Structure 1
């Protein structure tokens, strides 16, 4: 059951313009009503939850103090942006978030002028804000760029690369460090808030600027000593910030991110100063005000629909184990037999299932934070010393480490194993999280073995196979969600490299499926049989190396060969075409078609709807076969008239 909260004041502020017309004394009520609205909306739509609840007060304060959208407010990742969407004219659609034709799950430039930069992956906000701040500086505009970074995003090197380059933006760049896991500042109070207000004030900054000018007149040794004295004195006063100072930022904080009396004066001082760039360290509580009985920051990072009265979460009853759990359990089984197996994750232990591995093998599990590039080269170092590293990373996030895959792994033929979760379309998270490109970007590399699991049993075999590959890198990709319900083997068997399997034999049409579209291919074959088209279905298993002998046999005995994959152009189908063309097989009467994801970024929706749009469900496969053979939907030949 969902209960719409009463929000009399929030109802009067559809955009930041109306918010800024309120007296400061009303902002506490706005924040309380906004938090209630976020909770109510999430109970209907589900989605990212904890981070947004933690930045309610900060969202109100930022839109109140800064002149958005002229001042560019950039939310890192976008997990935090639900309150922002509500305050920026999108409240009416907030209960449609992550649904087909509804609001995007993250910030999106085409959705609102208040979203100056799209997000989905982490740690991009400072770089983007820096670019916008420098653009304002070059064009003489007064607007500020404000990057709100947190929720683990500061663990990525890209954030520090941007900060190291930030001096050029001057006072047009403001970074808000949303410290929502208490990792940097375990406690804040009235004294720290008072000091933050003082050191961000115009009087203090003017005196500091005057002092800098005096120091510039001193001989160099004295000037350097004076600078160190100033930094040390300020460090003692505020209890931190030295790292940010060294990167060129004027550090302010830490301050309580839920206390309007602390937030507003500091943000106003920051807005009005000529000093910069500035970093404001704000401490917040992830999931603040959540309605559930037990606090669990990781569990409530994202939630399904739930009942506001009973707090019961609406989860469907599983009919099969998830691919993620099958991978984790398979890896644990292999690690029981081999103490060289190491598991690596980039800040996604539960998302990749490695939290289970860590419980069993804590000394052989490494969470490197949001640092995919480091994760891959770290794994390469382990492999170089004879260990068996499995790097478990979502397909979309592995893109961030492509140079390391090429340079540090593939060129050196190091046997790093890539466990690629969330391969294919992912539904509600949309295009930023879709695993569309890994087949293409991995199968193009020399020395790489690329496997795709058709079902949960195949995944278990492929984990065992990856362990056995010791002379080159390998990857196994698998989708989000549950398996298809096949019987699970007792143990994983090592598959012959580059060999597929025939699942159903026919004579006219050959469907070669890579990955979890196999079940849809079998459904399509059944329908094609009713139209008089005898159909073979094969599970390719390997995108690279392709099963050349199987392809040659199918090409020689069928009229049409169709490949199917949950990936972009240039992937498995392209490799099949390349082999057939090289063998001269395409010169004959054989018809060949490649079914793949469309050459667009598909918007978020239910996965089944997205696969239907892509033509990768049973009906889409049937339609492609009939079109290739020049037949109508009854299986009859179609005669075309030439004008």
Structure 2
């Protein structure tokens, strides 16, 4: 294997790299060896910690070239999404902490301002980089600085509207370089033998030197120099358009270089230095190979896109996969059902639907707002659209939910995947806001299945409800503790909201939903062991809150001393606040103490490797202590 020595911790050059300064004077052969060592280092570590492997293997040469040409942090390097910034982290002094990648208290899997001065802008979501880069570049212009701003944008991000909004706002007189990293889909139409010759020509330093020298000479011609230069430039553009067709970026007035081999460090460095000399906004288009240098990742880039940590067993079934299976079954019986995803068919479990019903499946790209309004249009035209989307990305389409779905009472079903904390990906991927921002929408039903059986029930109801519905569920599979405690013969004191009475008149009732219900059950055990009679209720649906509140009253025979609302979401506007208010408005349990245990600051970064529930105080022990101490 090519990287065997590197995987055995033999990194002679990499071990000397502690900051970008250390790579400035390397020879070309040393750079090539460094690239090999970095790939070996990535394979060794990411295979253990989990993380985005294939995309980072593809940007090794680009990352090296960027830090050789520019002076980070004076020059600003912004990575779109941030998931392909691992090499950037390695080169900027974080190599020694790489074993902590995506661990509690360790390195983030994305760029993070609090982590390093070289991470000038945090990320986690797609298509934000260019807007941020424009902000940096304009600020440097206003400051009279000659610092450069570089945005590294994957081609997938160009399916997101923000990138095009930023391009439309991009001025030519900025020290801004936009690197398009094409690794999956074609952007340019410049193909064929002549185009390849042109790329090779443009990638040679002599070409740029000749071009600049010729331009300076022409401009110095008395009286007609500048006009002649403009005529030649326009004629060149016309000739290119005739031969290759229009170039989108140059039509916007932005200088375009490429496409070039992004896995050739020397070529990329040459183009970056040329772009830097121009002193204006430049598009640099490179092509890289996902998984470069690691045959398994090259062959299966999707499989190696985001690895799980070594030793972590994936569940046989997941909520995402079950959602896809159930939707296929429902679609077989109802031809009006269609499915929509925003570039996440694998992650959301819709791949089976895509293969089974290709004409009824729509992948709209990284365009969440469009996905939701598109669904609204389908619903208004008589279809039953199901939009599968991660909770963290649903935030990006909130106006579409209000204006286009809820306001018009259109029967769109939103499957909210990855609901709750997702600690490996950090705060940018926490799915903890959706309950709060959906709860206040009139007519919106929110389902929270904690088991696959409950998921099937929820989806079956949602597609026939005739109103906007959200079905939220976590990453991974169902928790057998929840099945045992709430669904296996309904043990005493454990209730799904079904209208059954709660025996024993408990002093404390814990109302929960989703996977945190397992902690509620364990907290009840702790309380019962110290003589506090406690019972737990699991909600499968949250709204309408008045209806759910009435259901709670039907289950609880006598007013308890304390009602505790335990939720894996933000406190403000969450289940606890809304249900507590509904109960008080109905005059129920007004003498009970209402305790809400939820997330006060989901942006807080974990500072130690404890499980996320422990860190945020949602574990059974913390819940029991708060109840006892209150």
Same-fold status (TM-score > 0.5): yes
Shift of the 160–213 alpha-carbon distance from structure 1 to 2, 3 Å rule, reads farther
Q: CA deviation at 1:263?
A: 1.4
> Which stretch shifts more, 390-399 or 39-48?
39-48
Mapped contact 2:7–2:40 kept (Cα < 8 A): no
Instruction: Tell me what 1:517 maps to.
Output: 516
2:120 and 2:297 mapped to 1: Cα distance?
37
Matched, 1:61 2:75: no
Instruction: Tell me what 1:638 maps to.
Output: none
1:415 and 1:391 mapped to 2: Cα distance?
11
2:549 and 2:69 mapped to 1: Cα distance?
64
Report the 3-state secondary structure (helix = DSSP H, G, I; strand = E; otherwise coil) of the residue aligned with 2:382. coil
Matches within 5 A, 1:327-406: 327-406=323-402
Report the 3-state secondary structure (helix = DSSP H, G, I; strand = E; otherwise coil) of the residue aligned with 1:557. coil
Q: CA deviation at 1:44?
A: 2.1
Report the 3-state secondary structure (helix = DSSP H, G, I; strand = E; otherwise coil) of the residue aligned with 1:419. strand
2:198 and 2:354 mapped to 1: Cα distance?
40
Instruction: Tell me what 1:193 maps to.
Output: 200
Aligned CA RMSD, in angstroms, stands at 3.1
Shift of the 303–88 alpha-carbon distance from structure 1 to 2, 3 Å rule, reads same
Report the 3-state secondary structure (helix = DSSP H, G, I; strand = E; otherwise coil) of the residue aligned with 1:300. coil
Shift of the 53–9 alpha-carbon distance from structure 1 to 2, 3 Å rule, reads same
Mapped contact 1:163–1:248 kept (Cα < 8 A): no
Q: Deviations over 1:351-373 (max 9, x none)?
A: 00000111211111111111101
1:422 and 1:359 mapped to 2: Cα distance?
23
Instruction: Tell me what 1:86 maps to.
Output: 90
* Number of positions where the alignment pairs a residue of Structure 1 with one of Structure 2: 606
Q: CA deviation at 1:556?
A: 4.8
Shift of the 531–180 alpha-carbon distance from structure 1 to 2, 3 Å rule, reads same
Shift of the 279–619 alpha-carbon distance from structure 1 to 2, 3 Å rule, reads same
Instruction: Tell me what 2:313 maps to.
Output: 316
- Could you state the TM-score of these two structures normalised by the residue count of structure 1? 0.87
Q: Deviations over 1:98-146 (max 9, x none)?
A: 0111111101111111110001001111111110000000001110000
2:519 and 2:266 mapped to 1: Cα distance?
58
Structure 1 gaps, min length 5: 307-313, 490-497, 629-643
1:127 and 1:624 mapped to 2: Cα distance?
44
Q: CA deviation at 1:207?
A: 5.0
Q: Deviations over 1:172-195 (max 9, x none)?
A: 110000001142257884541323
* Of 549, 565, 568, the match for 2:567: 565
Matches within 5 A, 1:513-552: 513-546=512-545, 547-552=548-553
Q: Deviations over 1:406-443 (max 9, x none)?
A: 11111111111100000000121111001010000111
Instruction: Tell me what 2:247 maps to.
Output: 242
Mapped contact 1:555–1:585 kept (Cα < 8 A): no
Q: CA deviation at 1:201?
A: 2.3
* Of 37, 43, 65, the match for 2:47: 43
Instruction: Tell me what 1:184 maps to.
Output: 187
Matches within 5 A, 1:426-575: 426-470=422-466, 472-485=467-480, 486=483, 505-507=503-505, 508-546=507-545, 547-553=548-554, 554=556, 556-569=558-571, 570-575=573-578
Q: CA deviation at 1:211?
A: 7.4
2:152 and 2:628 mapped to 1: Cα distance?
52
Shift of the 197–243 alpha-carbon distance from structure 1 to 2, 3 Å rule, reads farther
Mapped contact 1:124–1:159 kept (Cα < 8 A): yes
Report the 3-state secondary structure (helix = DSSP H, G, I; strand = E; otherwise coil) of the residue aligned with 2:427. coil
Instruction: Tell me what 2:125 maps to.
Output: 121
Q: CA deviation at 1:210?
A: 8.3
Report the 3-state secondary structure (helix = DSSP H, G, I; strand = E; otherwise coil) of the residue aligned with 1:517. helix
Q: Deviations over 1:311-335 (max 9, x none)?
A: xxx45163x6211112111111111
* Of 158, 170, 174, the match for 1:154: 158
Mapped contact 1:323–1:478 kept (Cα < 8 A): yes
Report the 3-state secondary structure (helix = DSSP H, G, I; strand = E; otherwise coil) of the residue aligned with 2:542. strand
* Of 5, 8, 19, the match for 1:4: 8
Structure 2 gaps, min length 5: 488-495
Q: CA deviation at 1:155?
A: 1.2
Q: CA deviation at 1:252?
A: 0.7
Q: CA deviation at 1:559?
A: 1.7
Shift of the 622–555 alpha-carbon distance from structure 1 to 2, 3 Å rule, reads farther
> Which stretch shifts more, 365-374 or 506-515?
506-515
> Which stretch shifts more, 240-249 or 263-272?
240-249
Report the 3-state secondary structure (helix = DSSP H, G, I; strand = E; otherwise coil) of the residue aligned with 1:566. strand
Shift of the 607–477 alpha-carbon distance from structure 1 to 2, 3 Å rule, reads farther
Matched, 1:603 2:602: no
Shift of the 199–392 alpha-carbon distance from structure 1 to 2, 3 Å rule, reads farther
1:361 and 1:27 mapped to 2: Cα distance?
49
Q: CA deviation at 1:347?
A: 0.5
Report the 3-state secondary structure (helix = DSSP H, G, I; strand = E; otherwise coil) of the residue aligned with 1:244. helix
1:335 and 1:469 mapped to 2: Cα distance?
15
